[in-house]
């Protein structure tokens, strides 16, 4: 309900993330948000998961579901960054893209909130995968970082700490 109220108070498209781990909650969120980000659900079988990932794709479509490929040095992490996996970032994105997913949110968790710059190595590798739209997240500290990320042709970029600490403005980022 909190997310719904926030989305209704703005006049921009909004994607929501965090804890979307079953079909019912995804469906509810898509009534007010344009897109839902799923992470843990994409990489594990949860007790309340009634549908497979392929079925969710068929129901909601690839433009409504964003797969969160949060990683630590190229290894997928799940459950709010608390659970490490042996899943390789690049091979997972390739596999999911082959299965029809096109939207990915990639957060380098060891860079997130650090203002140490984005993890360009992994971002470049997944940005080169055919039919994949990548939203880059983690470590962005300046306009220069945004320009470096832009060279990799991502779908978008998430600004967090740099925005909150006035190191980057939305207006500056939009110009790039």
- Model confidence over 91-146: pLDDT tens digits? 999 999 999 999 999 999 888 877 888 999 999 999 999 999 999 999 999 999 99
Q: Determine how many CB atoms are found less than 10 A away from the CB of residue 138.
A: 25
Whether the model pTM is above 0.85 = yes
**Tally of CA atoms within 13 A in the half-sphere of 122 that contains its CB:** 29
pLDDT above 90 for 37 = yes
pLDDT above 80 for 44 = no
pLDDT above 60 for 47 = no
Single out the residue of 98, 125, 129, 137 nearest to residue 15, CA to CA: 137
Burial 32-43 (b: 16+ CB within 10 A, else e): ebebbbbbbbbb
What CA–CA distance (Å, rounded) separates 40 from 95? 16
pLDDT at residue 45, as a whole number: 59
- What is the average pLDDT score of the chain? 91
Single out the residue of 84, 83, 67 nearest to residue 75, CA to CA: 84
What CA–CA distance (Å, rounded) separates 142 from 56? 37
pLDDT at residue 117, as a whole number: 86
pLDDT above 60 for 173 = yes
pLDDT at residue 34, as a whole number: 96
pLDDT above 70 for 153 = yes
Q: Determine how many CB atoms are found less than 10 A away from the CB of residue 6.
A: 13
CA distance to 84, 85, 155, per residue, from 40 (Å): 11, 11, 22
Side by side, which strands form the sheet with 71-72?
71-72, 75-78, 83-88
pLDDT above 80 for 72 = yes
pLDDT above 90 for 65 = yes
């Amino acid at each position: 309900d909190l997310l719904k109220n926030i989305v209704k108070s703005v006049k921009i498209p909004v994607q929501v993330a965090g804890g979307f781990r079953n079909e019912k909650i995804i469906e509810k969120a898509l009534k007010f948000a344009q897109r839902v980000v799923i992470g843990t659900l994409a990489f594990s079988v949860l007790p309340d998961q009634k549908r497979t990932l392929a079925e969710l794709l068929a129901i909601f479509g690839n433009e409504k579901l964003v797969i969160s490929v949060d990683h630590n040095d190229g290894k997928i992490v799940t459950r709010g960054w608390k659970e490490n996996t042996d899943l390789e970032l690049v091979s997972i994105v390739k596999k999911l893209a082959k299965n029809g997913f096109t939207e990915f949110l990639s957060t380098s968790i060891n860079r997130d909130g650090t203002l140490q710059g984005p993890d360009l190595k992994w971002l470049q590798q997944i940005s080169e995968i055919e039919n994949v739209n990548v939203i880059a997240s983690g470590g962005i500290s300046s306009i220069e970082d945004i320009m470096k990320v832009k060279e990799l042709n991502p779908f978008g970029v998430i600004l967090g700490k740099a925005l909150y600490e006035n190191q980057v403005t939305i207006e500056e980022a939009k110009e790039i």
